[in-house]
Amino acid sequence: MQPQIFISYSWRNKDIVDTIDADWEAVGIKLIRDIRDLEYKQNIKDFMKRVNDSDYVLLIISKGYLESKSCMYEAIEMFESSSFKDRILPILVEDARIDKSHERLNYIQYWEEEIEKLNSSIKNLKSHANAIGIYKELDHYTKIRSSIDRFMDEISSILCLPWDEAKQTSYAPLFKAIGVDRDNILAKCIKINSLASVEEKELALDELFSRYPNNKHVLNAQASLAHDEKKHKKEKRINEKIIELYPDYFYAYNHLANLLAYNFKEHEKAKGYYKKALEINPKFASAYNNLGLLYKTISKTTGG
C-alpha cells in the first residue's frame, strides 16, 4: 500500500503546496492536507496530531512556517517521535534562511517578542479569570521558543531539497527517499505532465506505458490527462483497469466513484465504490466527505 504522506506547510506558501499537490495527485500520490482532509468542525490540533500517524511528513520550510504557531505545533508533535529524521522530507523555500547561526537567532527573537507581547496584554487585563485559553496560548508560544532552535538545528544538519531544485527534478530525490519510484517513473510522468501540448503529453505517456505496461503511476497520469481533457469515458476505463490490476488501491475507487456520481449519474454504483475505498482505508477522509456529498445529492434528487 502507498505510504501515508502528511504535508506540513504555512498558508503563505499555498501556491507552492498547490503545485506539489497537483503534480503528485496526477500520478496517484495523494497527500494528507488540511484543506481536503480536515473535516468540518474537527479539532484542528487533533488533525495536526495525524503527523505522527503518517509514514512520512513533507515539510515546506519557509519564513512563514517558522513564524506560524500552527506549523510549529506540528513541528513539536514531530519532535516527540524517535523516528523524526527518518520520516521527514524537507523542502526549503528560499526565504527560510536557517543555515547560519545569526539567521536562526532572528526566529528565536521573533518568538521571544511574541511571548513578550502576549505577556504584556495579559498584564493589562483587569481580571485573569476565565482566561484559560490565553494562558494555553502563552504556554504554546513558550514551547515553541524552547524547541525552535533545536528544530532548525536538526533541519540544518540534514540535506534539504531547495524548492527550485525539487520542481526542476520533478521531485525525483523525494520519491527515491520514500522508495516508491525505483525506475524514476513518477518523475518521468510529472515531467511529461509539464509539457505544453496535450498531444505531446499523450504520445509521451503512451511511449512510457509501452515500456512499463500496467504501471500504476503511468495509468494514473493517463487518467489525469483524460480528466483534464474531459474524456470521461477514457478516464473511467483507465480507473477500472487500475482497480483490476491493483484491487487494494483505494484512491482509484474514489476517483471512479467521483466519475460515476457526477459525470455518469450512476449514484448507486458510486456509493459502492466510495464504501469499497473506505473498507480498504477507513481513515480515507476524502471518501467520507465525497460519500456524504453523494447522500445529500441523492436526497435532493429523490426529495427524501
Answer yes or no: is 234 within a domain: no
pLDDT of res. 13: 96
Q: Tell me the HSE value of 191 on the side-chain side, using a 13 A CA sphere.
A: 13
Can you give the CATH number for the domain in which 6 is found? 3.40.50.10140
| 186 and 174 within one domain | no
Do 52 and 78 touch, CB atoms closer than 8 A?
Answer: yes
| 71 and 49 within one domain | yes
Instruction: Look at the chain and report how many structural domains it folds into.
Output: 3
pLDDT of res. 284: 83
Decide which of 140, 159, 180 is a domain's last residue: 180
Stretch among 46-50, 121-125, 171-175, 217-221 having the lowest mean pLDDT: 46-50
Decide which of 172, 197, 229 is a domain's last residue: 229
Q: Which of 45, 46, 77, 152 is nearest to 108 (CA)?
A: 152
| 53 and 43 within one domain | yes
Answer yes or no: is 238 within a domain: no
pLDDT tier at 44, thresholds 50, 70, 90: very low
| 192 and 103 within one domain | no
| 135 and 57 within one domain | yes
Q: How many CB atoms lie within 10 A of CB 225?
A: 21
| 249 and 292 within one domain | yes
What cell was used for 70? 500552527
Answer yes or no: is 76 within a domain: yes
Domain hosting 192: range is 182-229
Can you give the CATH number for the domain in which 247 is found? 1.25.40.10
| 295 and 175 within one domain | no
Answer yes or no: is 123 within a domain: yes
Answer yes or no: is 237 within a domain: no
What cell was used for 87? 520520516
171-222 pLDDT, tens digit per residue, is: 999 999 888 877 899 999 999 999 999 999 999 999 999 999 999 999 999 9
270-291 pLDDT, tens digit per residue, is: 999 999 999 998 878 789 889 9
Q: For residue 18, give every residue at least 6 positions away whose Cβ sits within 8 Å of its Cβ, in sequence order, or none.
A: none
Answer yes or no: is 284 within a domain: yes
Do 297 and 266 touch, CB atoms closer than 8 A?
Answer: no
Confidence check: pLDDT of 1 > 70: no
255-271 pLDDT, tens digit per residue, is: 999 999 999 999 999 99
- What percentage of the chain exceeds 90 in pLDDT? 60
Q: Which of 223, 167, 202 is nearest to 26 (CA)?
A: 223
Stretch 229-241: mean pLDDT: 97
| 210 and 260 within one domain | no
| 126 and 97 within one domain | yes
What cell was used for 269? 454504483
| 104 and 52 within one domain | yes
Report the predicted TM-score, pTM, of the whole model to 2 decimal places. Answer: 0.86
Confidence check: pLDDT of 40 > 70: no
| 213 and 100 within one domain | no
| 285 and 149 within one domain | no
Answer yes or no: is 109 within a domain: yes
